[in-house]
Amino acid sequence: MAEPTITPLYPLTAPMQRQPESVVLPHDPVGEHIATHLGAPAMFFHETDGGAIQVDIHAIAPTADFPYVRLVTSGMSKRPMTTPEGAPPFAELMMTLPPNWQLDETSIKEERWYWPVALMRHLAHYPHNQGTWIGLGHALPNGAPPKPYVEGVDFCGAILLPPVSAPEPFHSVTVEGKDIYFHCVVPLFKEELDLARHRGFAALIDKFNDKDVTDVVDPARKNTVKKKFLGLF
């Protein structure tokens, strides 16, 4: 699978409008799909000036069955991506955060809490703004050379993986004849990013499995690729 062009630095702009009430946006089949399979959002981040598309990010609170926070986009699939023949042109994104991740009105003013929301927003707009596409297995660097998303966190890229922690019926939805696929955003260290881009995402998954890394974002987790391989790194 060909990679998209290199992702520019994502914008840590002022937070999107935060809606604290549990709500599904009207006339939003994707939002209804999210609520049906993952639960109604405890809050969502509403984009008031998104450009070509409007992206809303649904924040699903932890439950007894799934004790983690989920962020899920709605709106990325309003327009098709510019894909090669055979690649799915419609997608949405999901990210899984620890249960204690702070998304209250005060905390999201701090980059250390807000960066996953900003990253999701950026990735949702990126293919439309750049006339390209992102899909399963794509490794996306944060600039060239890759830079950390935020001070104190060494993640400087991300990979799109299947949303295996979510119920299988959630993985895709058909809206008005469009097949929309959900991808899980997993942040990466530079060495992991290099491995995925040179060896493919299957090689990175092997490393994740060896170290019991899941899709839950953990800024304190160990880098799974520390040693050089094939003389490349």
pLDDT at 27: 74
Rounded distance between C-alpha atoms, residue 173 and residue 5, angstroms: 27
pLDDT at 152: 92
Q: Which residues of the chain have pLDDT under 50?
A: 1-10, 12, 14, 22-24, 230, 233
On average, the pLDDT of the chain sits at: 88
pLDDT at 232: 52
pLDDT in tens, 6-21: 444 445 454 555 555 5
Rounded distance between C-alpha atoms, residue 114 and residue 101, angstroms: 10
Rounded distance between C-alpha atoms, residue 67 and residue 64, angstroms: 6
Torsion sign across C-alpha atoms 12, 66, 32, 123: positive
Rounded distance between C-alpha atoms, residue 97 and residue 191, angstroms: 22
The tokens for 3 are: 């990679």
Grouping H, G, I as helix, E, B as strand and the rest as coil, residue 125 is helix
pLDDT in tens, 179-230: 999 999 999 999 999 999 999 989 999 999 999 999 999 999 999 997 555 4
Rounded distance between C-alpha atoms, residue 21 and residue 169, angstroms: 26
The tokens for 9 are: 């630095």
pTM (predicted TM-score): 0.88
DSSP 142: S
